[in-house]
Structures are given as C-alpha cells and as structure tokens.
Amino acid sequence: MPDELDVLERHPKTSEPGELMRPHNMTCFGCGPESPHGLHLEMYAGEGFSVDAKMPVQQWMEGGPGVIHGGILSSAFDDVMGMTPRLIGPAAVTAHLQVDFLQPIPVGKTLHLHAEILGKQRRKIYVEGVAHLGDPDRPVARANGLFVQIDVRAHFADHVENSAKAAEYLGGKPQL
C-alpha cells in the first residue's frame, strides 16, 4: 500500500452500521439473492469502513473431503471485500486479490467474514479480509485486495446485455 493516502470519509448515503447492504447485482454470484448457484451472502455495514457477513459452509462448497473449496472461500472474500468501497463512494472492481488459507474450514460450520478498508489513493482502494469460525482471535483465513473504483455504467456497457437482468438494466432501471 502506498504511503500517501487520501482521507477516508463515509459516503452520506451509504448504509448505517448494522444495516443490511444492497447486493452488487441481484444475480451476483456472491451476494445476489436471485443467483441460481450463488453464495447468497447477506452483508452488513460495520463500524468505520468495514463490512461483515456470515456464510454457512454447505456440502456443495466442499473441496477436499469435509472442508471448503479454496475457490469458494476466495469468492466469498472477493464479494465481501468488494462491498467495502460502497461505504465511501462509487463501486469498485477487484484488480488484485491474495488469500492466505490458514486452517481447513469444515463443512457444517459458519464462516464469519470481515472486510475493512485499509486505505485509498485516487481510485485504488486497499482492503483486508479476515475469516473465522466464531472466535475472532483464531482466524482461519486472511486476504488482501486492491479494488479500483469505476464508472459503473461505462464499465459494464459492453457486457450488460449478457446479464440475467439485461431486460431490466437495458430498460433503464437505475441499479447499475
């Protein structure tokens, strides 16, 4: 992370601490309630510049016998960490994501995910994530990511017709 950082301020219209946050997109693999095969994460704004979510580790998420698949864990981090930019302004997309897998994460447990903005420079937002199974002092995974703020309409303009929600988006619904 660079030394010279911008001052962070919560966006006046962002969710209050404890409030459920709006999904990235109704069919987002991470947080979309209408995603047919998604994680269906519900994200809550935290204090400061943080977001929290809980994810029951289900059988279909298995990688090695009885434990979560690393890609599922990475996806969960990506989505929760990717929600933090909303606390300060425009949406951002993942440019870089690094995950440390510290402990096997068993099927049947509930994974607690916490993401927090470490700093921002221009459009770059540096975010860390941590996951535990109920005891915050015993993390089972950590992540670091760089998210780059975008102009949402311009960024998705060439792709929105492929969305499961294309009819709504192209009809001008103001979600994107």
Ligand X SMILES: CCCCCCCCCC(=O)SCCNC(=O)CCNC(=O)[C@H](O)C(C)(C)COP(=O)(O)OP(=O)(O)OC[C@H]1O[C@@H](n2cnc3c(N)ncnc32)[C@H](O)[C@@H]1OP(=O)(O)O
Identified binder of ligand X from the candidate list 105, 130, 141, 176, rule CB under 6 A: 176
Other Cβ atoms closer than 10 A to 132: 19
In contact, 80 and 44? CB cutoff 8 Å: no
Tell me the three state secondary structure of residue 86.
helix
Euclidean distance between the first and final Cα of the chain, in Å? 29
Name which of residues 42 to 101 contact ligand X (CB under 6 A).
78-79, 82, 91, 93-96
Closer residue to ligand X (CB): 67 or 165 = 165
* Smallest distance, ligand X to C-beta of residue 93, A: 4
Q: How far apart are CA 72 and CA 114, in angstroms?
A: 16
Q: Does 123 bind ligand X (CB under 6 A)?
A: yes
* Smallest distance, ligand X to C-beta of residue 134, A: 25
Residue 51 dihedral angles phi and psi, to the nearest 5°: -135, 140
- Candidates 3-11, 14-22, 66-74, 118-126; binding stretch for ligand X (CB under 6 A): 118-126
Q: Does 115 bind ligand X (CB under 6 A)?
A: no
Q: How far apart are CA 119 and CA 117, in angstroms?
A: 6
Name which of residues 4 to 33 contact ligand X (CB under 6 A).
24-25
Identified binder of ligand X from the candidate list 152, 160, 164, 168, rule CB under 6 A: 152
In contact, 125 and 88? CB cutoff 8 Å: yes
Residue 154 dihedral angles phi and psi, to the nearest 5°: -65, -40
Name which of residues 92 to 111 contact ligand X (CB under 6 A).
93-96
Number of residues that bind ligand X (CB under 6 A): 18
Dig out the tokens for 144 from the structure. Answer: 């670091």
- Which residues contribute to the site for ligand X (CB under 6 A)? 24-25, 78-79, 82, 91, 93-96, 122-124, 146, 148, 150, 152, 176
